[in-house]
Amino acid sequence: MTAAAGIRAVFLGGPGAGKGTQAQRLAASGIAAHISTGDMLRAHVADGTDLGKQARGYMDSGRLVPDDVIIAMVMHRIAEPDARGSWILDGFPRTLPQAEALEANLSDAGQALSHVVHFAVPHEDLVARLTGRRTCGSCGAIWHVQFQPTARESVCDRCGGALVQRADDRIEAVEKRLQVYRTQTEPLLAFYRDQGTLVEVDASRPRDEVYRQVESVLALAGRSTAHESDNL
C-alpha cells in the first residue's frame, strides 16, 4: 500500500510514547495530515474559546476531557478538506466510547481505519520523556532537553521560537496521566487486537529507528525520507 491509497490511522500509546514526534514527521513529508487532539485542545485554550475554558482544568490535572466534547471536535476535524485524503489521529480515541464513535462515523461514510499503531514504551521511560519535553511555542516542534536537545537552550532549531514546558508535563500531572492511560486507554489495545487491526512498534528505540518501523507498518518504505535527521 502507498500513501495514495489513503491512510486512516490511529496512533495509540502512553503519554510521551512519541506519537506526536512521528506523526509530525510523517505530516511534514506530506504522507498524511496530523490530527492531534491534544494540539487542538491547547489551541482552544490559547485562544480562550468556550471549549478551551471547559477543557483546561481537565488537561492541566492530567484527566481526560469529556467524551462528547472530544468526539464532536474530532468528527468536525476529519470532515475538513485537508483530511479527506490521508490522516493520522494522535491522541484519539482514548476511551471505548470514542473508539465506537469513530468506527460508526467511518462506517457511515463507507470507510474503516487502515492502521492502528501501538507505540509500546515501558512506563518507567515515559516519565523522563515527559518531564524533559520542551515544545516550541511558535511552530509546535517537539524537543527534549536530553534526548533531542536544541542547539541553543530554549530556542527552537526549526523556527527560532521560544520553547515552553507544557503545564501537564509537571510530575504530578504526569503521574495522573499515566494512571488515566492505564485505566481508560489501555483497554483499547484489546479492542483493536480483537479486530485484528493492531500493530505494535517498539517505540523505546531511538526516534529514527521508530520512524523506520512506522514507515514499514504504514507500507511507506522507499518513499523519500529526506528529513531523516531533522526534527520533523
Residues that bind ligand AP5 (CB under 6 A): 13, 15-21, 37-38, 41, 58-59, 62-65, 70, 91-92, 94, 98, 129, 133, 142-144, 147-148, 168, 177, 203, 206-207, 210
Is 193 noted as a catalytic residue in this protein?
Answer: no
Let me know if 176 is a catalytic residue. no
19 is catalytic: yes
Query: From CA 218, how far away is CA 205, in angstroms rounded?
Result: 18
Q: Which of 25, 77, 94, 134 is catalytic?
A: 94
Which residues have C-beta within 8 Å of that of residue 87, sequence separation ≥ 6? 7, 8, 9, 32, 33, 34, 35, 78
- Nearest residue to ligand AP5 by CB is 38
Active-site residue among 42, 134, 177, 207?
Answer: 177
Closest C-alpha among 35, 12, 20, 16 to residue 141: 20
Min CB(5)–ligand AP5 separation in Å: 25
Pick the closer one to ligand AP5 by CB: 5 or 162. 162
Total residue count of the chain as it appears in this document: 232
Among this protein's residues, is 170 annotated catalytic?
no
CB of 4 to ligand AP5, least distance (A): 26
Catalytic residues: 19, 94, 133, 166, 177
